[in-house]
């Protein structure tokens, strides 16, 4: 028998539930900021419903496009890792 | 007249040489070896036959160094042989160390009465004139034949055991004795080969002196054996390895009671009211030994979860005691699934050269059971390359699977999830920037 080093997970298993909650929380907050920045930044007409206010921002899409993509990317990274840790913490070892 | 007599003599000598040449090709290579004393202990107290043979072997002073010692088995024994192990005692008295020796099937031609030979490789050759002591241990399965073949619920199970009174050996055996241990005092009959004696649960055949090579004196013992005859007809073990820290093992069993078949009706009333008489050869519990630190153990079958089970854990092992839904009588089957999870660091190691290997127990965790058909499936994580199993020759050892894995591939799983979520966001952005109105807005 070789006396060799044993390999374990790169992240300690006891951290899985904590990491899951933390990352999903951060991811959801970033998602919220993604949607909210789209809502209030460009709405001018107060009387119209919110979905139609969105359509009014088409003129400024080139400026906020990069910002929206960045927020989306960061939020999806956090939500992705968070859902991975949720799956691992609940016993589905993917 | 000298010339014809001389020619007759030479032809006679030639014939003698031919005959001796032919007969020596069937003798073992180390024909200077002989067994000074042999003690064979046969343990029939379970459903499998365990035999311990202690051989004191001497190499003749005129022969060459012996590097192997041969042990012989009959063809039926070879068919039912599960394990053969040999050890050699070295050192004196308190410093005795038992060194395991490798045992291989020998490809020498079979002996005259059809016996098959196994060769025990000695770690250091036996010099001429030296003696050494070897212990050979072997296990035979399916060697106890129930007779009568069918019994009712309240009868006891009686089985036949067939063996030889003298040790089957390719060497001369100077002195030998055989002890057979039974599980209970009830022995219906046994063949007498003088000197034979019986003391309670033990039969003694011996001491026999100066037996020629390859002698076989068949004996038949008929005795009571009510130990559980649990046979796993088919076992499928699936081992799933996840680099995030878990090894999940799922085992599907087809269990059978392999003793005397049950005939007649089964009366539950009689079974529960007279437990000492009714169903003595049946069993209702099975014990499985699992590694320590096991979690998420489940025991179910096609109907659903089976709640009659107990799990006891400690720091060295875990014991799972399972009770099938009904007691098993002779010839009855049941199927079930056992699953459990284990921490990864107990089983996954790094070998030289950066390769990883997983080290698992090969056989079935159920104690005192015989497995007829075993399939092991090992599921490696995504991105593993070059898997190579190292399968042990005989059971009850560890299976190793070596493979290569680049740790960067562990990111494959979170990247998949991130990509899926990102697609959702991109869809949102696309929807938000699309102008779906029919007319002009402003």
A32-45 confidence digits (pLDDT tens) = 988 887 665 554 44
Would you call A68 and B418 a contact, using CB atoms and an 8 Å cutoff? no
What average pLDDT does chain B have? 84
Whether B238 shows a pLDDT value over 50: the answer reads: yes
Average pLDDT, integer, range B254-279: 90
pLDDT score, position A65: 78
pLDDT score, position B300: 94
List, as ranges, residues 54-73 from A with C-beta within 8 Å of B: 54-58, 61, 65, 68-69, 72-73
Would you call A65 and B433 a contact, using CB atoms and an 8 Å cutoff? yes
* CA–CA distance, B413 with A94 (Å, rounded to integer): 7
- Of the partner residues A38, A55, A94, the one whose CB lies closest to the CB of residue B413: A94
Average pLDDT, integer, range B127-146: 89
Whether B357 shows a pLDDT value over 70: the answer reads: yes
Would you call A76 and B429 a contact, using CB atoms and an 8 Å cutoff? no
> A90 pLDDT band (50/70/90 cuts)?
very high
pLDDT score, position B114: 72
* CA–CA distance, B82 with B141 (Å, rounded to integer): 7
pLDDT score, position B358: 86
Whether B323 shows a pLDDT value over 90: the answer reads: yes
> B162 pLDDT band (50/70/90 cuts)?
very high
Instruction: Give pLDDT tens digits for B26-40.
Output: 444 556 788 899 999
Would you call B422 and A54 a contact, using CB atoms and an 8 Å cutoff? no
**Run of H or E including B413:** helix B412-432
Contacting residues of B for A57, CB less than 8 Å apart? 432
Q: Is the CB of A41 inside 8 Å of chain B's CB atoms?
A: no
Specify the pairing of strand B116-126 against strand B103-105.
antiparallel
- Of the partner residues A61, A76, A93, the one whose CB lies closest to the CB of residue B244: A93
pLDDT score, position B261: 92
Instruction: Give pLDDT tens digits for B52-86.
Output: 999 999 888 887 888 888 888 888 888 888 888 88
- Rg for chain B, CA atoms, rounded: 31
Would you call A4 and B245 a contact, using CB atoms and an 8 Å cutoff? no
pLDDT score, position B84: 85
Whether B389 shows a pLDDT value over 70: the answer reads: yes
Q: Is the CB of A17 inside 8 Å of chain B's CB atoms?
A: no
Phi, psi for A7 (deg, rounded to 5) = -105, 135
Average pLDDT, integer, range B325-330: 93
Q: Is the CB of A83 inside 8 Å of chain B's CB atoms?
A: yes
- Of the partner residues B248, B348, B421, the one whose CB lies closest to the CB of residue A79: B421
Would you call A7 and B345 a contact, using CB atoms and an 8 Å cutoff? yes
CA B96 to chain centre: 26
Phi, psi for B133 (deg, rounded to 5) = -115, 130
> B312 pLDDT band (50/70/90 cuts)?
very high
Best B246, B410, B417, B439 residue to mutate vs chain A (most A CBs within 10 Å): B417
CA dihedral (B30, B31, B36, B40) positive or negative: positive
How many Å lie between the alpha carbon of A32 and the closest alpha carbon of chain B? 12
Average pLDDT, integer, range B350-373: 85
- Of the partner residues A69, A73, A93, the one whose CB lies closest to the CB of residue B246: A93
Would you call B429 and A13 a contact, using CB atoms and an 8 Å cutoff? no
Contacting residues of B for A56, CB less than 8 Å apart? 441-442
> Tokens standing for A48?
């119209």
How many Å lie between the alpha carbon of A84 and the closest alpha carbon of chain B? 6
Would you call A88 and B244 a contact, using CB atoms and an 8 Å cutoff? yes
pLDDT score, position B22: 40
From residue B41, alpha-carbon distances to B35, B176, B222 in Å are 16, 11, 17
pLDDT score, position B247: 92
Q: What residue of A is the nearest CA neighbor of B438? A: A55
* CA–CA distance, B195 with B193 (Å, rounded to integer): 6
What number is the ipTM of this complex?
A: 0.74
pLDDT score, position A3: 57
Q: Which of B217, B220, B199, B198 is nearest to B208 (CA)?
A: B217
Q: List, in order, residues 6 or more apart from B213 with CB less than 8 Å away.
A: B111, B169, B170, B171, B172
Best B418, B419, B435, B437 residue to mutate vs chain A (most A CBs within 10 Å): B418
Under a CB-based contact definition with an 8 Å cutoff, are residues B412 and B420 in contact? no
pLDDT score, position B21: 41
User: What percentage of chain B has pLDDT greater than the value 70?
Assistant: 86
Instruction: Give pLDDT tens digits for B163-180.
Output: 988 888 888 899 999 999
Q: Determine which of A58-72, B138-152, B222-236, B328-342 has the lowest per-residue pLDDT on average.
A: A58-72
Average pLDDT, integer, range B139-161: 92
Best A1, A3, A5, A8 residue to mutate vs chain B (most B CBs within 10 Å): A8
Torsion, Cα A12 A17 A18 A23, to 10 degrees, reads 100
How many Å lie between the alpha carbon of B298 and the closest alpha carbon of chain A? 14
pLDDT score, position A46: 53
- Of the partner residues A55, A65, A68, the one whose CB lies closest to the CB of residue B441: A55
pLDDT score, position B18: 44
Q: What residue of B is the nearest CA neighbor of A39? A: B432
Instruction: Give pLDDT tens digits for A45-86.
Output: 455 555 555 444 444 555 577 888 888 899 999 999 999 999
Q: What residue of A is the nearest CA neighbor of B421? A: A76
Best B241, B409, B433, B435 residue to mutate vs chain A (most A CBs within 10 Å): B433
Q: Which of A60, A7, A35, A75 is nearest to B356 (CA)?
A: A7
Under a CB-based contact definition with an 8 Å cutoff, are residues B163 and B42 in contact? yes
Peptide bond preceding A53: is omega within 30 degrees of 0, i.e. cis? no
pLDDT score, position B54: 92
pLDDT score, position B109: 66
Under a CB-based contact definition with an 8 Å cutoff, are residues B196 and B265 in contact? no
pLDDT score, position B23: 41
């Amino acid at each position: 028998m070789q006396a060799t080093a044993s390999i374990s997970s790169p992240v300690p298993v006891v951290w899985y539930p904590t990491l899951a909650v933390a990352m999903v929380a951060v991811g959801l907050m970033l998602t919220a900021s993604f949607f909210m920045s789209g809502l209030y930044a460009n709405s001018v007409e107060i009387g119209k419903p919110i979905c139609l206010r969105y359509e009014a921002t088409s003129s400024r899409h080139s400026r906020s496009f990069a910002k929206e993509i960045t927020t989306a990317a960061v939020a999806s990274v956090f939500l992705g890792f968070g859902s991975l840790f949720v799956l691992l913490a609940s016993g589905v070892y993917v | 007249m000298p010339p014809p007599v001389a020619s007759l003599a030479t032809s006679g000598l030639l014939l003698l040489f031919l005959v001796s040449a032919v007969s020596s090709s069937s003798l073992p290579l180390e024909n200077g070896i002989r067994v000074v004393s042999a003690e064979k202990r046969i343990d029939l107290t379970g459903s499998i036959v365990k035999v311990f043979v202690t051989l004191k072997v001497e190499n003749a002073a005129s022969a060459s160094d012996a590097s192997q010692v041969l042990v012989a088995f009959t063809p039926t024994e070879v068919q039912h042989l599960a394990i053969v192990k040999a050890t050699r005692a070295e050192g004196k008295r308190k410093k005795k160390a038992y060194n395991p020796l490798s045992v291989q099937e020998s490809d020498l031609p079979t002996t005259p009465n059809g016996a098959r030979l196994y060769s025990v490789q000695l770690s250091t050759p036996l010099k001429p004139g030296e003696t050494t002591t070897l212990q050979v241990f072997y296990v035979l399965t399916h060697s106890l034949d129930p007779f009568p073949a069918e019994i009712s619920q309240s009868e006891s199970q009686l089985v036949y055991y067939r063996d030889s009174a003298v040790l089957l050996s390719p060497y001369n055996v100077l002195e030998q004795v055989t002890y057979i241990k039974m599980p209970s005092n009830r022995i219906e009959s046994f063949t007498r080969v003088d000197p034979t004696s019986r003391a309670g649960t033990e039969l003694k055949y011996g001491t026999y002196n100066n037996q020629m090579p390859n002698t076989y004196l068949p004996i038949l013992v008929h005795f009571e054996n009510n130990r559980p005859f649990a046979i796993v007809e088919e076992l499928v073990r699936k081992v799933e390895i996840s680099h995030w820290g878990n090894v999940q093992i799922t085992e599907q069993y087809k269990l059978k009671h392999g003793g005397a078949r049950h005939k007649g009706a089964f009366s539950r009333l009689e079974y529960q009211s007279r437990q000492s008489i009714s169903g003595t050869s049946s069993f209702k519990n099975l014990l499985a030994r699992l590694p320590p630190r096991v979690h998420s153990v489940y025991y179910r079958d096609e109907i659903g979860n089976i709640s009659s089970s107990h799990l006891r854990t400690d720091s060295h092992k875990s014991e799972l005691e399972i009770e099938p839904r009904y007691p098993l009588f002779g010839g009855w089957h049941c199927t079930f699934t056992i699953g459990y999870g284990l921490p990864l660091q107990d089983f996954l190691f790094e070998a030289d050269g950066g390769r990883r290997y997983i080290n698992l127990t090969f056989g079935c965790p159920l104690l005192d059971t015989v497995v007829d058909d075993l399939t092991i499936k090992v599921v490696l994580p995504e991105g593993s390359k070059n898997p190579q199993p190292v399968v042990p020759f005989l059971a009850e050892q560890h299976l190793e699977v070596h493979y290569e894995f680049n740790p960067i591939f562990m990111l494959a799983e979170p990247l998949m999830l991130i990509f899926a979520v990102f697609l959702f966001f991109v869809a949102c952005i696309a929807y938000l920037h699309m102008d779906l109105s029919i007319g002009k807005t402003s």
